[in-house]
Structure 1
C-alpha cells in the first residue's frame, strides 16, 4: 500500500528502501594493502546508510575492478555510531584508509592528511559537482571533500494518532508541538507524542533541529558557538517537552534508528525523519497513515537540517593518487553514481546525477525544504570535537541536568578541539 506524503501542498507517493545501521567488516578484493607486486590496493572506509550499503559498494567495486584489473579495492563498512572512533584509531596508528566516506573532514585537512579534491578527480568530475555543495566541501577556498550525497529532514506525523488525540492540525510552532505531543502521549498504551532521540547515534542532528528552530545553531567555519541565548532557549524547551511527558521515556539514551522502528509500528505521534524513512515505513508497516511536514520552530518559520556527506582521500605515503583518481572518477560517472544514490534514497550532488534522476516524486517534499536548509559547520576544524561532545553530553538534558551547564560543557569540549 502506497501512502501519501505532504509538504507545503505537494503530494507524492513513494516506496523507498529501508534504512538502518549495521556494522560490517572488510570486503572487496583480496590484497593486503599498499602498492606492491603487479597492482595497487585502495582501502575504502564507509559508514552504513542502509541494509543495502555494503552490497551497493561491492557492486561498484566489482565493476571497477573489472575495468581496472591492476587495482584492488578493500571495503570496510562501519556503523555511523562507530565511525569516529574507527577513523581516529586508524589515523593515530598511521593506518588511515585511502578513501573515506564521512561527514566532518576539516580537522584532517588542517593536519595536512588529505588531498585537495582537484588532485584526485578529473576536471570533468570536479566541474560536475553542484556549486551549492562545493562551499560546504571546502576549507579556506580549497575543496577537500567530494560531495557524495545530500539529505534534508522533515516532521513525520502519524495522522491516526493525531486525530485520536483530538489534534486537528499538524504543529508548526513549538507551543503547538508541545500541546499536540502531550495530548498524544495521554492516549496511553505505550504511545509517545514526540520521538526525541538524544542518544549518541545522532544527538547532534536532533539538537540541530531545536537549536536552528530557535534561531541559533552551531556556528560557522570560523567559530563554533554552542553556548548562546538561542541555543539555551532550545535546550530548556527540550526539557519542557520531556518534563511534560510529551516524549518517549529515557529520551537521553534513545538512538534514532530503534526509535524510528517504534514510529513505524504506530506507537509515536511525531518524529523527525529523512528520505529513507519513507522506505522504512513502506517495508515495515505499509498501512501506516502518515504525512511528511515542515519541522516546527519557535516562531513557525520553516527550515530543514541539510546534510551533505563527502568522500575524502588521505595522502598516506602518496603512492596511490592515480588509483584513487581512477576510482573516484569511475564512481561519480552517472551510470554508477545514480543507481547508488537512488538505492540509498538520498539526493545527488552532481549535476549529471540530478539530470539523470529527473523528477523523483518520493524526494519532492525534501527537495522543497532544501532552500531553507541549515548545515553543520563541517569545515570548522573543531566540528569533529563538537559532534563528539553532543553525542556524549546532550542526552543529559533529558536526565534533568541544568541546561546552561550542559551547553557550557559542550562548548568547552568544542574549544578544546
Structure 2
C-alpha cells in the first residue's frame, strides 16, 4: 500500500516536490549526523501548550550535559501540521529519529519503527503501566513508548448553571440538551455547550458521543464508523444539539483550543476538557467557578475517551539505536519525566510517575475516570486515515448534512486508508 495514502496525508508528488525541506527542519538524509564525532538525534514533537518548547529544551539540556557526544535537534509543530510534516519527511527519506505523536500503527506496518524493547532498557520497559502497553502494541509487539495519558471530562461553569436555574450537572444526553439550551438562552454571546467539530480534534468530540452511546470506531482489525446504529444515533443527537441552539455558532468549523479559551473566559457553559485545562483556567481566569464531571451519556453511565500519546523511534539506517536508547532511558527517569508530565497537566504512564503524582488533587477527577476510558483504535493501520477523515468531514453534521451520509464518507476514506 502506498505510504502517503496509509498515513492519511493528502499529498501529491507534485506537492511534495514543492515543499521546502528546510522549512520542515532536519536534513542530510538518514545517515548518522556527526559534528566532531557527535551523533545528532532529530526529535519531532507536537505542541501541547505554551510550555512544550521550554520543557523539551530543559530535557535536552540535561541530556546533552550527561551525554556530550549526542546532540538533540528539536522541532516543534502544531498538531494540525504534524501528520503532513512527518509524511513529507518520510517521503524525502528524512524521517525523525524520535517522534512524539498519537497513531503509529501505519509506521509499524511499513517496518519503519523499532520495537520499543530494542530502544529502552529493561528497567524502563518494566516501568510502563500495563494498560498503556496494550494500547501501544500491534500484534503483541510494543512500538510506542507511552508518553502521556489523559481522560476527557466535562467542565461545567457553575455560575452560568446557577444563572440558568440549573441545580446539578447533566448526566444524560437529554439533560445536557435541556441544560445547554437554558444556558444559551442567557444571551450575551454565551453558548450552552461547546462542540468543537473543526479540524483540530473533531475525532475526539465525536468519540465522546459515540462511546457514550455504546458505539465504536472499531478495533485493531477493522474500522467501524458507518453501519453501526449506535454511531448514527450519536451523530444524529450531536446534530440535534446544534439545530436546537444548544451549541456555539458554526460548531462545524470551531477548533477545541480556541473554544476552550472562550470557556475559560466564562462564555461557554459546558465543554469537554483535558487535565491541562485545569492549569489553563488557573492561569487565564482563576476566578472562574467550575466543576469537573463525567461527560453525559445516552444512559447516564460514565464513559471517557482515554488518550495515550507515544514516543516512537524510527529505524532509518540503524546507526542511531544506542543514542536513541540513551535518550529514552534518560527521559523516563522520574526526576526528568514527572516534572514534564506535571507541567503539561497530563497523567503519567509509568508506575514510578504515578506513585509521585497520586496525591495531586487537580488530577483526581481524571484518574477516577480512567477505569471507564475507551481508546482510539490507533493500533489499526487505517486509523490514521480515519482520524484525518473525522477532522475534515465530521463538521458537516453541524452544517446541515445528513449524519448517515457523513458517516459513509468517513468510512469510505477509512477503507481507502
TM-score, length basis structure 1? 0.92
Alpha-carbon shift at residue 34 of structure 1 (Å): 2.0
| 1:328 equivalent in alignment to 2:328 | yes
Tell me the residue number matched to 1:405. 405
Distance in structure 2 (CA, Å) of the matches to 1:122 and 1:281: 38
Tell me the residue number matched to 2:205. 206
| 1:90 equivalent in alignment to 2:89 | yes
Distance 1:25 1:162, change over 3 A: farther
Structure 1 spans left out of the alignment, 5+ residues: 1-23
| 1:297 equivalent in alignment to 2:297 | yes
Q: 1:197 is paired with a residue of what secondary structure?
A: coil
Distance in structure 2 (CA, Å) of the matches to 1:218 and 1:358: 31
Tell me the residue number matched to 1:5. none
Kept in 1: contact 2:157–2:288 (CA 8 A): yes
Distance in structure 1 (CA, Å) of the matches to 2:331 and 2:236: 45
Tell me the residue number matched to 1:34. 33
Tell me the residue number matched to 1:396. 396
Alpha-carbon shift at residue 36 of structure 1 (Å): 5.7
Alpha-carbon shift at residue 358 of structure 1 (Å): 3.5
Tell me the residue number matched to 2:272. 272
Structure 2 spans left out of the alignment, 5+ residues: 1-22
Distance in structure 1 (CA, Å) of the matches to 2:170 and 2:356: 36
Kept in 1: contact 2:253–2:395 (CA 8 A): yes
Kept in 2: contact 1:158–1:269 (CA 8 A): yes
Alpha-carbon shift at residue 92 of structure 1 (Å): 1.1
Tell me the residue number matched to 1:45. 44
Alpha-carbon shift at residue 209 of structure 1 (Å): 0.7
Alpha-carbon shift at residue 166 of structure 1 (Å): 1.3
Kept in 2: contact 1:181–1:193 (CA 8 A): yes
Distance in structure 2 (CA, Å) of the matches to 1:54 and 1:117: 25
Tell me the residue number matched to 2:76. 77
Alpha-carbon shift at residue 165 of structure 1 (Å): 1.0
Tell me the residue number matched to 1:160. 159
Q: How does 1:326-405 map to 2 (within 5 A)?
A: 326-405=326-405
1:233-287 superposed Cα distances (whole Å, 9 cap, x missing partner)? 0110011000000000000000001100111111111000011111111111111
In the comparison of the two structures, how many residue pairs are matched?
390
Distance in structure 2 (CA, Å) of the matches to 1:276 and 1:60: 20
Distance in structure 2 (CA, Å) of the matches to 1:359 and 1:184: 34
- CA RMSD of superposed structures (Å): 1.4
Distance 1:220 1:333, change over 3 A: same
Alpha-carbon shift at residue 357 of structure 1 (Å): 2.4
Alpha-carbon shift at residue 129 of structure 1 (Å): 0.6
Kept in 2: contact 1:26–1:77 (CA 8 A): no
Distance in structure 2 (CA, Å) of the matches to 1:242 and 1:158: 20
1:313-364 superposed Cα distances (whole Å, 9 cap, x missing partner)? 0001111001000100010011111111111111111111112223111100
Distance 1:358 1:368, change over 3 A: closer
Alpha-carbon shift at residue 88 of structure 1 (Å): 1.0
Kept in 1: contact 2:32–2:320 (CA 8 A): no
Tell me the residue number matched to 1:128. 127
Q: 2:135 is paired with a residue of what secondary structure?
A: helix
Distance in structure 1 (CA, Å) of the matches to 2:173 and 2:344: 31
Alpha-carbon shift at residue 33 of structure 1 (Å): 6.6
1:126-165 superposed Cα distances (whole Å, 9 cap, x missing partner)? 1111111101000000000000010011111111111111
Tell me the residue number matched to 2:252. 252
Distance in structure 1 (CA, Å) of the matches to 2:128 and 2:289: 37
Tell me the residue number matched to 1:20. none
TM-score, length basis structure 2? 0.92
Tell me the residue number matched to 2:150. 151
Distance in structure 2 (CA, Å) of the matches to 1:239 and 1:111: 38
Kept in 2: contact 1:35–1:319 (CA 8 A): no
Tell me the residue number matched to 2:20. none
Alpha-carbon shift at residue 35 of structure 1 (Å): 4.3
Tell me the residue number matched to 2:62. 63
Distance in structure 1 (CA, Å) of the matches to 2:148 and 2:230: 30
